[in-house]
């Protein structure tokens, strides 16, 4: 089997390669060539850790496997980041394990690529202003990936903890874009594309904030109870997602569904826009991508990393 260590990923996996992998796997999902297995996520009663597996099979891209890992809140004492994951790939022809790949940076890249795919297909024509809600670890990845698929002229941002906004200002500067910190009402009315990436458990962006043609990539809500957007805003928008089952249970749409504001049938797969089977934005004023994060995304970027590592001769081989 091949082993691609975490420390090699930064030199192997470019945002463009991640984008291609995620766009392709969303298309496979929409064509019913790829499916995710039920997610396992357990509080293990040790070190306050949340541990789980996200797996799936993509018969088009031929990736089979799982991402194992989770959240260890006390990892600072070990000099490690709290989110830890590893992707294991299996040979779909034989069932033998084929690769173990460090999954930490890959998770950040695949999450950023997902919102970028949604921006490529759903941003309103002539979008100029990118609005960022959230300034944590993931926010910089999301902003960089968005700037690769669309020519923005300005970034505006808001975060519940204003002291973190320097991350957005620094990332915008790195991209050569002006940055301004604004309140949420200005963000909602001035931004043409909005990325939300926080750990919020109550709505931040309200329906009344959002004015004019807007695309919102809602990326923070990946667990039951989390919420970044007003349910009325979700109800007003044309909603797309990576996977409908996750969108209604752990994604942003869970609240509008629970309140009876939208029906499951109204939620569309982003992959169907990629394949050309759905018109996408059409005449909708507001579009939302409810990015919940699926195992197939992890497998897609891990698969690509192994290919690149083999080409570059940096994949280790181990007999198992
Ligand atoms: P982080 O801890 O580095 O940053 C957290 C962000 O959320 C910051 O902007 C912080 O100010 C804000 N925040 C913290 N507590 C909050 C609260 N109670 N209410 C509102 N905002 C709060 O985390 P990160 O790595 O940047 O990830 C951000 C979010 O994205 C997390 O919720 C994470 O679970 C989610 N995420 C989703 C996916 C996906 O595929 N959809 C993938 C990775 C991360």
What pLDDT shows up at residue 262? 98
268 and 133 fall within a common domain:
yes
Same domain, 281 and 132: yes
Please give the sequence-ordered ranges of beta strands (E in DSSP) within 164-280, or none if there are none. Answer: 179-181, 193-196, 201-205, 214-218, 227-229, 238-241, 267-269
- Mean pLDDT calculated for residue range 290-297: 97
Indicate if 201 and 284 belong to the same structural domain.
yes
First to last CA, the chain: 7
Domains identified in the chain, total number: 2
Calpha distance 230→318 (Å, rounded): 50
Same domain, 282 and 304: no
**Residue 102 Cα to ligand 1 middle (Å):** 21
Report yes or no on 117 lying in a domain: no
Pick the residue whose CA is nearest to atom 33 on ligand 1.
220
Residue nearest to atom 36 of ligand 1 (CA): 220
Q: 218-236 burial by CB neighbour count: b if 16+ within 10 A, else e?
A: bbbbbeeebbbbbbbbbbb
C-alpha torsion sign, points 278, 280, 284, 289 = positive
Same domain, 41 and 94: yes
Same domain, 177 and 306: no
Non-local (6+) Cβ contacts of 76 within 8 A are 82
Tokens of 93: 């022809």
Model pLDDT for residues 135-152, shown as the tens digit of each residue = 999 999 999 999 999 999
Which pLDDT score, from 0 to 100, does residue 228 have?
A: 98
Question: Is 214 part of any domain?
Answer: yes
Tell me if 112 is assigned to some domain. no
**Looking at ligand 1, which atom is closest to the CA of residue 226?**
32
In whole angstroms, give the CA distance from residue 96 to residue 16. Answer: 29
- The yes-or-no answer on residue 226 being catalytic is no
Claim to verify: residue 231 and residue 179 sit in the same structural domain = yes
Dump pLDDT digits (tens) for 55-93: 999 999 999 999 999 999 999 999 999 999 999 999 999
Do 283 and 138 share a structural domain?
Answer: yes
Does residue 116 lie in a domain region?
no
Catalytic residue among 67, 224, 310, 312: 67
Sheet holding 214-218, edge to edge: 179-181, 154-158, 129-133, 193-196, 214-218, 286-290, 238-241, 267-269
From residue 279, alpha-carbon distances to 78, 115, 174, 283, 311 in Å are 49, 18, 34, 10, 37
Structural domain range at position 312? 2-107+296-317
Report whether 167 contacts 161 (CB < 8 A).
no
Q: How confident is the model at residue 237 (pLDDT cuts 50, 70, 90)?
A: very high
Residue ID of nearest Cα to ligand 1 atom 19? 200
Mean pLDDT is lowest, of 40-44, 115-119, 283-287, for 40-44
CA angle 250/215/232 to nearest 5° reads: 55
- Give the whole-angstrom CA distance, residue 139 versus residue 136: 5
Ligand 1 near 219 CB (within 6 A): yes
Residue 25 CA to residue 40 CA, distance in Å, equals 21
| 188 Cβ below 6 A of ligand 1 | no
Q: How far apart are CA 224 and CA 258, in angstroms?
A: 11
The share of the chain scoring above pLDDT 90, in percent, equals: 98
Mean pLDDT of the region 180-200: 98
Whether residues 83 and 210 fall in one domain:
no
Q: Is the CB of 293 under 6 A from ligand 1?
A: yes
Percent of the chain with pLDDT over 70: 100
205 inside domain: yes
Residue owning tokens 């931004």: 191
Question: pLDDT class for 175, splitting at 50, 70, 90?
Answer: very high
Q: What are the E-state strand segments in 20-73?
A: 34-36, 40-43, 50-58, 63-71
Region 218-224 average pLDDT: 95
Q: Are 9 and 254 in contact (CB under 8 A)?
A: no
Q: In angstroms, what is the span from residue 111 Cα to ligand 1's centroid? A: 12
249 assigned to some structural domain? yes
Q: Is the CB of 184 under 6 A from ligand 1?
A: no
| 56 and 151 share one domain | no
CA–centroid distance, 221 to ligand 1, in Å, is: 8
Using the structure block, give the residue that is written with the tokens 């869970």: 254
Residue 119 placed within a domain: no
What CATH number has the domain bearing residue 303?
3.30.1780.10
Are 159 and 209 in the same domain?
Answer: yes
Q: What is the CATH number of the domain that holds 138?
A: 3.40.50.720
63 lines ligand 1 (CB under 6 A): no
Tell me, yes or no, whether 251 and 145 share the same domain. yes
């Amino acid at each position: 089997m091949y082993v691609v260590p975490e420390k090699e990923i930064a030199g192997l996996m470019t945002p463009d390669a991640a984008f291609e992998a995620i766009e392709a796997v969303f298309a496979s999902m929409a064509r019913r060539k790829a499916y995710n297995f039920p997610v396992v996520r357990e509080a293990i009663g040790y070190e306050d850790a949340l541990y789980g597996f996200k797996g799936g099979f993509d018969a088009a891209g031929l990736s089979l496997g799982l991402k194992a890992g989770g959240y260890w809140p006390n990892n600072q004492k070990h000099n490690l980041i709290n989110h830890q994951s590893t992707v294991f790939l299996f040979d779909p022809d034989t069932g033998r394990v084929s690769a173990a790949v460090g999954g930490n940076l890959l998770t950040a890249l695949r999450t950023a690529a997902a919102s970028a795919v949604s921006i490529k297909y759903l941003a309103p024509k002539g979008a100029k202003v990118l609005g960022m809600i959230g300034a944590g670890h993931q926010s910089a990845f999301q902003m960089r990936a968005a700037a690769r698929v669309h020519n923005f002229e300005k970034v505006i941002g808001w975060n519940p903890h204003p002291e973190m906004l320097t991350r957005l200002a620094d990332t915008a500067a790195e991209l050569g874009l002006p940055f301004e910190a604004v309140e949420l009402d200005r963000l909602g009315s001035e931004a043409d594309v909005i990325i939300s990436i926080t750990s919020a458990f109550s709505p931040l962006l309200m329906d009344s904030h959002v004015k004019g043609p807007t695309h919102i990539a809602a990326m923070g809500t990946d667990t039951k109870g989390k919420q970044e957007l007003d349910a009325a805003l979700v109800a007003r928008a044309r909603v797309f997602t990576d996977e409908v089952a996750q969108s209604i249970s752990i994604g942003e749409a869970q609240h509008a569904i629970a309140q009876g504001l939208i029906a499951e049938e109204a939620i569309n797969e982003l992959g169907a826009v990629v394949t050309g089977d759905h018109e996408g934005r059409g005449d909708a004023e507001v579009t939302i991508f409810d990015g919940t994060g699926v195992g197939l995304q992890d497998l897609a970027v891990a698969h690509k990393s192994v290919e690149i590592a083999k080409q570059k001769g940096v994949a280790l081989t181990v007999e198992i």
